[in-house]
Amino acid sequence: MSFLNGATVGFDTVNNKAVFIDQTLLPNVYKEISTDDFGEMFEAIRLLKVRGAPAIGVFTAISLAVLMNKSNAHTYEELISELSRYADELIKCRPTAVNLKWAAEQMKKCGETSNKDNFKENLTALALKIISNDIEVCRKIGEYGAEILKNCNSFLTHCNAGRLAAVKYGTALAPLYVMKEQGKSIRAYADETRPLLQGARLTSFELNEAGIDTTLICDNMASYVMKNRLIDAVLVGCDRVALNGDTANKIGTSGVAILAKHYGIPFYVCMPFSTFDFSLQNGSEIAIEERNGEEITDLWYKEKMAPEGVKTINVAFDVTDASLITAFITEKGVIAPSEIKKYITE
- Rounded-to-integer distance, Cα 96 and Cα 57, Å: 12
- The Cα diameter of the chain in Å comes to 66
111-149: b (≥16 Cβ within 10 Å) or e: beebeeeebbebbbebbeebbebbbebbbbbbbbbbebb
Distances (CA, A) of 10 to 17, 27, 86, 199, 263: 9, 20, 19, 23, 41
Q: Give one DSSP letter per residue of 109-144, joined into a string.
A: HHHHTS-TTTHHHHHHHHHHHHHHHHHHHHHHHHHH
Distance of CA 178 to the CA centre of its chain: 18
Distance of CA 20 to the CA centre of its chain: 14
SS3 169: coil
12 classed as catalytic? no
The catalytic residue among 191, 219, 239, 318 is 239
The terminus-to-terminus CA distance of the chain in angstroms comes to 41
List active site positions: 239
